[in-house]
């Protein structure tokens, strides 16, 4: 999960320093949304990782998000794990979090991306099995996407497939300044289970669930599509 992207024109910006750039107040009851999204959350008795080397034993999670605009993404994200620990930043609360044991968040900018855009990246080593909450917070009116890839702990019963890989996607989703979408990610360290995404709530009308689809390579995909009202 510690894959390193090295490009000459690559610029990395720490995810958490961007929180102070938008001092405006959000128009959603954040505490209510947080409580609702984490109801009935299943927490497994699993050990936390101590270092990035533990990714091989415990698995990993990677989240990429962005908007098809030049420069910084017009969305921010906050990811909450099954124990209530967070990573990410909220520009409308002017707050950032870095509470996961072994994780990092950054903004990657490269001329090879579409239109010279930047992408946000969140990587977690040894994620716990259970339900995660993902908040996608609009900074400006935009179409955004989120790509999630997950790797399980080693599959000791299969020599040809040491790890199970799965993916889920949110694409062509509309947002605007102050808009907040909340998704539920279901992840397991077990090799026979894939990651899934469901829409939990938004500050607009509810959207239909995002469904996962298996492919022939032990990978799943999900997509949420909606357009401006």
> How many domains are there within the chain?
1
Q: Which residues lie closer than 8 Å to 213 by C-beta, 6 or more apart?
A: 220, 221, 222
How does pLDDT run across 14-62, given as a tens digit for each residue?
776 654 443 333 333 334 434 444 444 455 689 999 999 988 889 999 9
On whether residue 1 sits in a domain, the answer given is no
Q: What is the pLDDT of residue 109?
A: 87
How does pLDDT run across 153-168, given as a tens digit for each residue?
887 665 555 668 899 9
For the ranges 5-19, 151-165, 180-194, the one whose mean pLDDT is highest: 180-194
Q: What is the pLDDT of residue 68?
A: 82
On whether residue 3 sits in a domain, the answer given is no
Instruction: Record the pTM.
Output: 0.72
Q: What angle (nearest 5°) sits at the alpha carbon of residue 181, between those of residues 112 and 100?
A: 75
Find the domain containing 109 and state its range: 11-222
On whether residue 87 sits in a domain, the answer given is yes
Q: How many residues does the chain have?
A: 229
């Amino acid at each position: 999960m510690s894959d390193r992207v090295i490009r000459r024109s690559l610029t990395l910006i720490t995810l958490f320093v961007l929180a102070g750039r938008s001092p405006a107040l959000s128009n959603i009851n954040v505490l209510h949304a947080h409580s609702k999204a984490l109801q009935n959350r299943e927490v497994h008795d699993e050990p936390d990782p101590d270092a990035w080397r533990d990714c091989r034993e415990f698995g990993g999670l990677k989240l990429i998000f962005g908007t098809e605009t030049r420069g910084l993404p017009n969305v921010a994200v906050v990811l909450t794990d099954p124990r209530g620990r967070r990573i990410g930043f909220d520009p409308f609360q002017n707050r950032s979090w870095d509470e996961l044991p072994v994780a990092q968040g950054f903004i990657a900018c490269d001329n090879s991306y579409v239109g010279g855009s930047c992408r946000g990246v969140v990587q977690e080593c040894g994620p716990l099995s259970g339900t995660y909450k993902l908040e996608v917070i609009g900074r400006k009116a935009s179409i955004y996407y989120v790509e999630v890839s997950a790797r399980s702990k080693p599959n000791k019963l299969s020599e040809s497939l040491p790890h199970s890989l799965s993916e889920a996607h949110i694409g062509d989703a509309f947002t605007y300044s102050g808009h907040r979408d909340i998704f539920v990610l279901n992840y397991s360290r077990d090799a026979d289970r894939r990651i899934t995404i469901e829409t939990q709530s938004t500050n607009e009308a509810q959207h239909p669930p995002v469904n996962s689809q298996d492919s022939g390579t032990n990978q799943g995909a999900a997509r949420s599509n909606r357009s401006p009202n």
